[in-house]
Chains A and B, each alone.
Chain A
Amino acid sequence: NAGVTQTPKFRILKIGQSMTLQCAQDMNHNYMYWYRQDPGMGLKLIYYSVGAGITDKGEVPNGYNVSRSTTEDFPLRLELAAPSQTSVYFCASSGPGQGAIPGANVLTFGAGSRLTVL
């Protein structure tokens, strides 16, 4: 099991460029999430999905888009990159009744993608 795989690990963008952060999980999890983490701050939820074909906005969705065409993949698209989107992005997934904790929504995170917009 690879768990949650994010690509790229690092990227520098110019203002106004677009890009897609890829996220894939091989644990057959229903739920997937995108968070961003700014220095010294907690994780802010951008978008999440409770299953293929279903996506919902989190706390900070502006400037981003997502799609969930398969259970495994949950790409995050940045349109017209802005300096305020400089951050570390984490993808995560979870499945109901995961592991030894029935009913607990335990998140497994990818390694993160560090994005700088100049």
Chain B
Amino acid sequence: GQNIDQPTEMTATEGAIVQINCTYQTSGFNGLFWYQQHAGEAPTFLSYNVLDGLEEKGRFSSFLSRSKGYSYLLLKELQMKDSASYLCAVDGNNRLAFGKGNQVVVIP
């Protein structure tokens, strides 16, 4: 089975940096994903990690430590449009299990 834990909500100022953490336990591991979900919309893919280390993609970076069952998503130079829920998901044998998501509210 899979167990994924994320903090629930945070508020940050435009232009700031936020880090969203995710811890997981899983019996199989094919990679860890981060998705962004705006209110009332479907999740959209942000990043993917399968090896330990940092993946950078513009303003967004994601880090993975498989031995610690830990990942984080780093959002830099926050913009108002980044206000959304950020979902961590673990692929265990082609079944993605999602965490509850972390709601990020960006204020001016």
Contact = CB atoms under 8 A, between A and B. Distances in A.
Name the residue in B8, B30, B98 with the highest tally of chain A Cβ atoms < 10 Å from its Cβ.
B98
B30 A105 contact: yes
A58 interface: yes
Interface string B5-38: 0001000000000000000000000110101000
Interface residues of A, number: 25
A109 B36 CA distance: 12
B68 to A, nearest CB: 21
B70 interface: no
Interface residues of B, number: 24
Nearest to B4: A42
Name the residue in A41, A50, A105 with the highest tally of chain B Cβ atoms < 10 Å from its Cβ.
A105
Given A42-B87, A42-B100, A43-B87, A106 B95 contact: no
A109 B98 contact: no
Task: Please name the 4 residue pairs, one residue from A and one from B, whose CB atoms are nearest each other, closest first.
Answer: A109-B42, A42-B98, A43-B98, A42-B100
27 contacts: A31-B94, A33-B96, A35-B98, A40-B100, A41-B101, A42-B4, A42-B98, A42-B99, A42-B101, A43-B43, A43-B87, A43-B89, A43-B98, A44-B98, A45-B95, A50-B94, A58-B95, A90-B42, A103-B31, A103-B50, A104-B31, A104-B48, A104-B50, A105-B31, A105-B94, A106-B45, A107-B96
